[in-house]
Amino acid sequence: MTYPTRFSALGEPMWPRLRGLLDPHAPGGDVINMTIGEPKHPFPDWVGPALADAVAGFNAYPDNNGIPELRQSIATWLHRRFDAKVDPDTQVMALNGTREGLYNAVMALVDGGTILIPNPFYPVYAVGTMSVGAKPVYMPCTRDTGYLPDLDALDAATLNDTQAFFLCTPSNPQGAVADRDYLVRLLDLAERHDFKIFSDECYSEIYRDEPPLGMMEVAHQVGADPERVVIFHSLSKRSNLPGLRSGFVASGPENIKRLKALRAYAGSPLPGPIQKVSAQVWADEDHVVANRQLYCDKFKAADHIFAGINSYLSPRAGFFLWLPVENGEQAALRLWQQTGVRVLPGKYLAQTANEQNPAEDYIRVALVAPKEETQRGLTIIRDCVLT
């Protein structure tokens, strides 16, 4: 029996790989899990009653593309947050989690060619690329590049063959934020070389000072073709609702038309009651402000704990620390065996390209636990692998 080999270059997925590294060994202390980016802050207390009020909707097939109430709430949020005006009927589609949308955007909008992927990256970028037979080109995101892809390093031949460019801002795992100049330059490259920008902005509402710019926001400002930009947002991080699996994609009418067509044939719509609740969650900002403050408090604690460690770089957004160590796998194993703290080796988020893995000497640390537990874990990390 034969099986397709299109995904063989991906290797073992990160979570089974992490379990294979750590689980054969006993933890060296009380377990503190700082691996997965699963928010632990409370979601709004009115979500439960709102879901109960909508529960009868489970007796009907859901609207494939998002009920009008939800699409209007999303469009209103985009205008409020990014001053971006979109037609809720033709430019917005609800998603059953943004991972679904990121994958299906490649399936619906790309036909071969090259897809540019930041390295490290969210794995679905590469899976989508390989699914359509496109060539992935991994762009190293290092301290020297500001932890964003180096646009100057892209040669004309690569750009001319490019069909799509994945951008994550704020970036996972480094928390880097693309400024206006960067986004304008990327838009200019996309216009000149005729490719689409898939902008993953799921961490846009978790920041420390200034709100990160959005790709659609800047595209509107410079008058770019609305089909040039496809943006993705989620309630998972913004509202501490990862289990709701609720997000959206917004773009030009033709892109959304094609995504809707794929959904009609092979997609999985968001259940109706969840769509009802999601409309209310996008409309509320009070819980987002409170949530952001909790993360800001933990970032301040991290800055204090790692003060004086020159290799530490305090991120601008997101909820991860991207900590340089001598060897990410060895550091993660040492932490687990000696202390019980569980972190993710950076290389599990990246691909080796040109014989180099830009995440080899990093660990990713999620700041999702309560503040006291987070402080305890960070202090242990500092004393075990950063001094």
**240 and 263 part of one domain:** yes
**pLDDT(387) > 80:** no
Dihedral sign computed on CA atoms, order 259, 262, 264, 266: negative
For residue 344, the SS3 value is strand
In a domain, 54, yes or no: no
**272 and 238 part of one domain:** yes
Q: What is the tens place of the pLDDT at every residue in 330-347?
A: 999 999 999 999 999 999
Task: Give the CB-side neighbour count of residue 272, counting CA atoms within 13 A.
Answer: 11
Burial 279-303 (b: 16+ CB within 10 A, else e): bbbbeeeebbeebbebbeebbebbe
**76 and 183 part of one domain:** yes
**105 and 163 part of one domain:** yes
**74 and 170 part of one domain:** yes
Look up the pTM and report it: 0.96
Distance separating alpha carbons of residues 165 and 142, to the nearest angstrom: 18
Domain that holds residue 332: 8-42+287-385
Confidence of residue 354 (pLDDT cuts 50, 70, 90): confident
Partner residues linked to 140 by β-bridges: 119
State how many domains the chain has. Answer: 2
**pLDDT(3) > 90:** no
**140 and 259 part of one domain:** yes
Q: What is the tens place of the pLDDT at every residue in 91-149?
A: 999 999 999 999 999 999 999 999 999 999 999 999 999 999 999 999 999 999 999 99
Distance separating alpha carbons of residues 282 and 81, to the nearest angstrom: 11
